[in-house]
Amino acid sequence: MNAMTKSAAELRRAARNHILAPRLESPFHDRLMALSEVNDWYNWAGYKAPHALFDGELEYFAIRSTAALFDISPMVKYRIAGPDAERYLNRLTLRDVRKLGVNRVHYTAWCDDHGHVLDDGTLFRLGKNEFRLCCQERHLPWLLDSAFGFAVDIHEETEEIAGLALQGPTSYAVLRDAGFAGVEQLKPFHIGAFPHEDGDVTISRTGFTGDLGYELFVPRARALSLWDRVWRAGAPHTIRAIGYGALNQARIEAGFIVANTDFVTAEGALRADRVRMPDEIGLDWLVDPDKPNFNGRRAILDARRNQSLKHILVGLEIEGNIPAEHAIVYHRQKHEAGLVTAAIWSPTAKRNIAIASLERPYGSKFTEDLWVEIYAMRELKYQKLMKRAKIVPRPFVRLARRTASPPGLT
């Protein structure tokens, strides 16, 4: 009886502790905690990540004016290697992996057999038969099932590999002063290995801000020393650590999309009408119909040929300065046309901008006389505002320094 009572008590205590258990901490958590002034955290793939560290507006301007450091360690990372790695990934993803050279990166996406997007992300070619796939969602069971018949090894390395995004006009100057000799030779979407402690750090000229920027990957054991090296070098360049709120502003200006924000992934969708094909979320340019067969190829090409695509993702410019996040889009103020998925007042473009998912023919055939319904809080009362919107190309902000080679020393 006592043993049974004790066991029940232990079970209750274990359940309580499970609920109270903190989220996973990234390798850079100690540095972020020391810098956090607002204690504003969110859950990123099971990790405790900062939404803001001190002031969201100032963090945004660090991206656009100096250098911003963002912890990307929670980003899901898979190491894919083996004799059939290229052939496997070519079967899996939309772009032709045979065209991706060693020490290069490309943006890509992958679909189920019905042509619905499972996720998007970046594919790093680290060697002839060695790749790293980075994405938003976890897909290991699906990746393993898809590998049947291929001589390939797949494992998740999210916890093993720490990542930092260094973005902004002075990001190259920071890396140069940190002693990463030769980093100026990296062109956009190129990768290099640079000495750090008793090993290497992998640096790619990539990012999610539409600005000059780099991403640094290092084994977890050398994470803090990498942070300290970059942070010391960045001090004269007014480097700032940032949270996701600032990054999100920059990515909207750049016109980039986020899985399960701007579209619902095929594995995450609860309703059949929520899934999207690449052409319905602006990823049609990724599809290479001339390469060997890939997941969803027939469905994607059939939808194009039959003109059966149901949605379209567009950029909007909206009158006024009140962000229209999650606003309903109307045609002629009366026919529902779609929904805004992301919106901000852009400090750089000085425009009220948004990304919206519209139901065809709105956005394709009917592109004029669009409106958004915004509910603005005014003195504890919502005020309904109908504002004109027009379709505009993405990116909303285009910065020459993003692709300048060699990078400038702003």
- Amino acid 398: pLDDT: 97
Binning pLDDT at 50, 70 and 90, where does residue 83 land? very high
User: What mean pLDDT do residues 313-342 have?
Assistant: 97
What's the pLDDT tens digit per position in 225-258?
Answer: 999 999 999 999 999 999 999 999 999 999 999 9
What's the pLDDT tens digit per position in 131-154?
Answer: 999 999 999 999 999 999 999 999
- Amino acid 20: pLDDT: 52
Using DSSP's 3-state secondary structure scheme, residue 177 falls into helix
18 has a pLDDT exceeding 50: no
Alpha-carbon separation of residue 152 from 84, 124, 143, 157, 342 (angstroms): 6, 16, 11, 16, 38
CATH of segment(s) 76-156: 3.30.70.1400
- Amino acid 21: pLDDT: 52
- Amino acid 333: pLDDT: 96
pLDDT more than 70, % of the chain: 94
User: What mean pLDDT do residues 373-399 have?
Assistant: 95
- Amino acid 126: pLDDT: 98
CA distance 161 to 199: 13
- Amino acid 1: pLDDT: 39
CA dihedral 12, 18, 20, 26 (to 10 degrees): 170
C-beta neighbour count of 27 within 10 angstroms: 23
Binning pLDDT at 50, 70 and 90, where does residue 179 land? very high
CA distance 189 to 103: 9
Token pair for residue 146? 């898809």
CATH of segment(s) 272-392: 2.40.30.110
- Amino acid 3: pLDDT: 40
Give exposure, 356-378, as e/b (b: 16+ Cβ within 10 Å). Answer: bbbbbebbeeeeeebbbbbeeee
- Amino acid 5: pLDDT: 43
- Amino acid 150: pLDDT: 98
CA distance 218 to 77: 12
Task: Summarize the chain as % helix, strand, coil (round to 5).
Answer: 30, 35, 40
Which residue ranges make up each domain of the chain?
A: 23-75+160-254, 76-156, 272-392
What does pLDDT average to over the chain? 94
CATH of segment(s) 23-75+160-254: 3.30.1360.120
19 has a pLDDT exceeding 60: no
Q: Give me the phi and psi of 94, to 5 degrees please.
A: -80, -35
Alpha-carbon separation of residue 301 from 53, 90, 116, 297, 395 (angstroms): 45, 17, 12, 6, 26
| Residue for token pair 């640094």 | 216
- Amino acid 198: pLDDT: 94
CA distance 148 to 270: 27
Binning pLDDT at 50, 70 and 90, where does residue 409 land? confident
38 has a pLDDT exceeding 60: yes
12 has a pLDDT exceeding 90: no
